[in-house]
């Protein structure tokens, strides 16, 4: 981490650590943050290192090359995703109990922004101490956060994913031919902000955590085929990626409705 005041603030370090945790789950989960955080020279260095380590056609190398080109051109694939006001700018999930900072309108999960503010010295018992928006650095106080209403277009998107036509459930063969990547055994997909590298792809680049998790699941099925396994993840994107891999391995699974654990909500698989 750079040794300057901006990056050494507790809040900025929290965002950076969160992105690192995403990268350990799967490197491309954090590509939105990589493009935003890395400057052009850093992206060029990363891209060259990937070229030296792997084949140029490897998806991770290709995606970093695309992010670099967009950075050089001043463009991004993620503008439209952020405009819908639903993506938490800290965790990149569709926000749960979403709220926004009134002065700048940036949207976050309530737990994400409250934890972020607490890391900057704000929070319970410190309401008078100011915090800064992690996106634009404008000052705000936790008590000023406003609950965000779900946009009208979101239920339409989710209904297509979460409520498959009844005719599909009656005809199993028809449902299989129309199955979307990552769709579970009852035809559901979790609500998810768009990840450009997932669009139109079947095979995914391997990740060490993903491969290790698959080995554990398959070993448990081999030794205890009647057991049910529950997987908790902080990121819906990782749940979807794992769902694609289980689908490819012909392992039956379902996405469970998110359940409250403490004050946080975790997607269950």
Which CATH entry fits the domain spanning 85-147: 3.20.20.140, 3.30.565.10, 3.30.40.10, 3.30.365.10? 3.30.40.10
Tens digits of residue pLDDT in 149-165: 654 443 433 334 444 44
Longest dimension (CA), the chain: 61
What are the extents of the domains in the chain? Answer: 5-82, 85-147, 153-268
SS3 at position 7 = helix
What Å distances lie between residue 66 and 53, 60, 62, 69, 203, CA to CA? 18, 10, 6, 5, 19
With a threshold of 0.75, does the pTM exceed it? no
219 burial type by CB count under 10 A (0-12 exposed, 13-18 middle, 19+ buried) = exposed
Residues in the chain: 269
| Beta carbons of 97 and 112 less than 8 angstroms apart | no
What is the percent of the chain with per-residue pLDDT over 70, rounded to a whole number? Answer: 57
What band does 60 get if pLDDT is binned at 50, 70 and 90?
confident
Q: For residue range 100-154, what is the model confidence (pLDDT) as tens digits?
A: 899 888 888 888 888 888 877 644 444 445 688 887 888 888 888 888 765 444 3
8 A C-beta contact, residue 126 and residue 114: no
CB of 21 closer than 8 Å to CB of 14? no
Do 148 and 107 meet the contact criterion of CB atoms below 8 Å apart?
yes
Is the pLDDT confidence value at 29 over 50? yes
């Amino acid at each position: 981490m750079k040794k300057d005041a901006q990056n050494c603030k507790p809040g900025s370090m929290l965002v950076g650590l969160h992105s690192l945790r995403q990268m350990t789950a799967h490197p491309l989960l954090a590509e939105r943050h990589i493009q935003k955080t890395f400057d052009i020279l850093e992206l060029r260095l990363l891209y060259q290192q990937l070229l030296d380590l792997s084949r140029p056609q490897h998806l991770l190398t290709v995606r970093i090359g695309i992010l670099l080109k967009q950075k050089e051109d001043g463009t991004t694939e993620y503008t439209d995703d952020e405009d819908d006001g639903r993506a938490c700018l800290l965790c990149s999930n569709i926000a749960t109990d979403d709220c926004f900072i009134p002065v700048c309108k940036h949207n976050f999960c309530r737990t994400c922004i409250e934890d972020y503010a607490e890391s900057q010295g704000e929070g319970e018992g410190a309401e008078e101490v100011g915090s800064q928006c992690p996106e634009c650095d404008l000052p705000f106080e936790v008590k000023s956060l406003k609950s965000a209403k779900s946009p009208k277009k979101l239920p339409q998107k989710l209904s297509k994913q979460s409520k498959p036509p009844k005719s599909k459930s009656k005809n199993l063969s028809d449902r299989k031919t129309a199955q979307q990547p990552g769709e579970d055994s009852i035809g559901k997909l979790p609500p998810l902000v768009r990840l450009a590298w997932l669009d139109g792809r079947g095979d995914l680049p391997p990740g060490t955590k993903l491969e290790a998790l698959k080995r554990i699941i398959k070993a448990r099925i081999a030794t205890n085929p009647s057991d049910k396994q529950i997987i908790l993840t902080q990121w819906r994107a990782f749940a979807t990626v794992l769902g694609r891999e289980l689908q490819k391995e012909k392992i039956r699974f379902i996405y469970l409705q998110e359940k409250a654990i403490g004050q946080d909500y975790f997607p269950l698989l």
